[in-house]
Structure 1
Amino acid sequence: MLSVMPYSVMAIVAVMDVTAGPAVGLLPLVALGPAFAGLVGGWRRTALIGGLALILCLGLGLYDGLFASRRGYTALASVAGVTAAGLLAAVMRQRREAELASVRSIAEVAQRVLLRPVPRSAGPLRVAVSYTSAVAEAQIGGDLYEVVASPSGVRVIVGDVQGKGLDAVETAALVLAAFREAAYDEPDLRHVGLRLERVADRELRGEKFVTAVLTEIRDDRVVSMLNYGHPSPVMMRPDGSVGFVEPPQYALPLGLGMHGFAGPEPYEADFAPGDQLLLYTDGVSEARDAAGRFYPLDERADLLSDPDPEKALQALRSDLVQHVEGPLHDDAAMLLLRYHDP
């Protein structure tokens, strides 16, 4: 539609000018053709349409006998000036589009480095992940997740960095780098948490902090967790029962460690074939509808019944977007762990 608009406008102006006659003075409106072309097309197309507009203006001016006075030359000058302005606008717009494409390309590379694709299966688990950034045109933000298959079991982190923007991305990169190294090296999940605490205390400044839940799934069909002030994961059993796996007591987030306050204590839950564990950030649990009601995550867990974990998680995400009736106002990450018996 937009591509044919300049031609349509010039054709309409030509018909109206011929019908109304030279007394009405519609000839300068031919300049609308190159004006629209500069908004939607490249500079070559704008120059072509500008040339056609000048030819059309010259022909109509001769047909109306306007070159016997200044009116014909004024109309030609108007078309030429608008064509020049359209060319300038097209060049500047193409440069901005090229810069935006470059920024998007860099963002995609940063996303692959920071939030690498998680494995679809790890040990006895099938894994699916969904991530939505609240920042327009952005693919990464302050939420983080990772799955590491270590000698001690499958270890998972889902976290949420305080704040948004580049600072949040930088903090998420620090935490993820520390987790990827510690998750494979440390034999005990508590030691993994201690490594993250040291990195956070050393690197985070001011009021920055990170809520996170660390999870370890071992071969004894037990899931062990460390919760640093993060929303409790949701456990779904094959019989349809749903419940939050809450810690005995909540600990401070990473980066807010204080002398005299111990870190979180590991806690466990049964995790057997057929069970599902959903880890998420507060962009999911605190999403509100128009009436201010939070998203009822535990009540919508039945949406995760699809045999394909990725389709199941997509159904839950679609329901979340429908709940808020528009774009999400905070980064929202969900990671689904489904225990299957090979």
Structure 2
Amino acid sequence: MAVVAAVDVIAGPSVGFLPLVSLGPAFAGLVGGWRRTALIGGLALVVCLGLGLYDNQLFVGRRGFTALASVAGVTAAGLLAAVMRQKREAELASVRSIAEVAQRVLLRPVPRSAGHLRVAVSYTSAVAEARIGGDLYEVVASPDGVRVIVGDVQGKGLEAVETAALVLGAFREAAHDEPDLQRVGARIERAVDRELQGEKFVTAVLAEVSGDRSVTLLNYGHPAPVVVRPDGAVHFAAPPRNALPLGLGIHGADAPRPYETDFTPGDQLLLYTDGVTEARDRTNRFYPLAERAVLLKDPDPETALQTLRRDLVQHVEGPLHDDAAMLLLRYHGW
């Protein structure tokens, strides 16, 4: 508005810049509230009226009155746009608030320590505005040891969230009640088989650390956890044989069998979803988790996991194409 006024004063009325004063309330309606838009619109009318009098256009011809009408019209449209935008922003804020509550119920904050373990978790959504998705995780300190689940629901949207809630509910209950990890998995599988229909499924890996310097794993078609030793050695704790994901029990395949791997002071166990290992850079190269797991060297597990997460995002050089959840267990003593 100041530039238009200056040009009009310098160049004179012949240039015809006076109607451009309406750009002020037009932009105000896009970025400000209705009060700010009304204020800018009133100021624009004053500027337009003053320039019209200065140029002697209000009483000679129709140009001055046309400019005033255009400023008034644009101000009215800006006010309407500002009111509608503020209404949508309020609705979006309400939805975000509900989503955050749903996230706290579905994916509750994990304990920072459980037994002789320190725990850290990272969740990166593929959708910038998303708060929850189909990836799931939980840590439960049960009478039989610390039990953990990390899983990935097939599909996206509300159905995936509902399925994730079903799996987590079954795990939280079974982790406290069942004496061994295989029975925990069987309880979850029965719950999922009852609810899921068609070819929907959930990949998941369950872990139990009971203090015998080993971790027991139960893998339902999920990516194998990574064990990082204090000397930096990395290996994938793959199951002796593959098993179907949860929800495909109708195909009659054998249930997975528990297996163990060493887990002693200083060791780290990283459980993750396929959004990590299947993240690709611009050359279509997958994220090299086996090479980058050495980044988990910070004494604080949360800081270490965030370092790995930043490296994952830098590898992709943009938004992830799939949700990526990571849960790190670190044995006390390091």
* TM-score for both structures, normalised by structure 2: 0.98
Give 1:291 deviation, angstroms: 1.3
Q: Of the candidates 222, 228, 233, which is equivalent to residue 220 of structure 2?
A: 228
Aligned residue type for 2:164: A
SS at match of 1:208: coil
8 A contact 1:39–1:90 mirrored in 2 = yes
Q: Of the candidates 295, 303, 308, which is equivalent to residue 303 of structure 1?
A: 295
Match of 1:131 in 2: 123
CA offsets per residue over residues 36-92 of structure 1, 9 Å max, x none?
111111000100111111111111111111122221111111110000001001101
Measure, in 2, the Cα distance between the counterparts of 1:74 and 1:259: 76
Q: Of the candidates 45, 56, 68, which is equivalent to residue 47 of structure 2?
A: 56
Q: Of the candidates 102, 112, 135, which is equivalent to residue 120 of structure 1?
A: 112
Measure, in 2, the Cα distance between the counterparts of 1:312 and 1:67: 70
Give 1:331 deviation, angstroms: 0.4
Q: Of the candidates 192, 208, 212, which is equivalent to residue 200 of structure 2?
A: 208
Match of 2:264 in 1: 272
8 A contact 1:236–1:276 mirrored in 2 = yes
Give 1:234 deviation, angstroms: 0.5
CA offsets per residue over residues 286-315 of structure 1, 9 Å max, x none?
111111111111111110011000010011
Match of 2:5 in 1: 14
Q: Of the candidates 280, 290, 308, which is equivalent to residue 288 of structure 1?
A: 280
Aligned residue type for 1:170: E
Measure, in 1, the Cα distance between the counterparts of 2:284 and 2:50: 64
Give 1:136 deviation, angstroms: 2.6
SS at match of 1:98: helix
**1:186 paired to 2:154:** no
Q: Of the candidates 56, 64, 84, which is equivalent to residue 76 of structure 2?
A: 84
Q: Of the candidates 182, 187, 191, which is equivalent to residue 195 of structure 1?
A: 187
Q: Of the candidates 16, 36, 40, which is equivalent to residue 25 of structure 1?
A: 16
| Deviating 4+ runs (over 6 angstroms) | none
Match of 1:4 in 2: none
Give 1:260 deviation, angstroms: 3.5
Change in 2 beyond 3 A, CA 1:191/1:14: same
8 A contact 1:144–1:333 mirrored in 2 = yes
Match of 1:255 in 2: 247
Q: Of the candidates 210, 220, 224, which is equivalent to residue 218 of structure 1?
A: 210
CA offsets per residue over residues 82-141 of structure 1, 9 Å max, x none?
000010011011011111111111111011000000000000100000001112301211
Measure, in 1, the Cα distance between the counterparts of 2:245 and 2:103: 24
Measure, in 2, the Cα distance between the counterparts of 1:156 and 1:111: 18
Task: Report how many residues are paired.
Answer: 333
What is the root-mean-square deviation in Å for CA atoms of aligned residues? 1.1
Aligned residue type for 1:17: D
Percent of aligned pairs sharing the same letter: 81
Give 1:179 deviation, angstroms: 0.3
Change in 2 beyond 3 A, CA 1:133/1:18: same
Give 1:259 deviation, angstroms: 5.0
Aligned residue type for 2:328: L
Measure, in 2, the Cα distance between the counterparts of 1:16 and 1:226: 75
Name the stretch that deviates more: 251-260 or 301-310.
251-260
CA offsets per residue over residues 194-214 of structure 1, 9 Å max, x none?
101101100011221000000
8 A contact 1:135–1:141 mirrored in 2 = no
Q: Of the candidates 325, 328, 335, which is equivalent to residue 320 of structure 2?
A: 328
Name the stretch that deviates more: 256-265 or 311-320.
256-265
Measure, in 1, the Cα distance between the counterparts of 2:230 and 2:28: 60
Measure, in 2, the Cα distance between the counterparts of 1:11 and 1:259: 74
Q: Of the candidates 156, 159, 184, which is equivalent to residue 164 of structure 1?
A: 156
Match of 1:75 in 2: 67
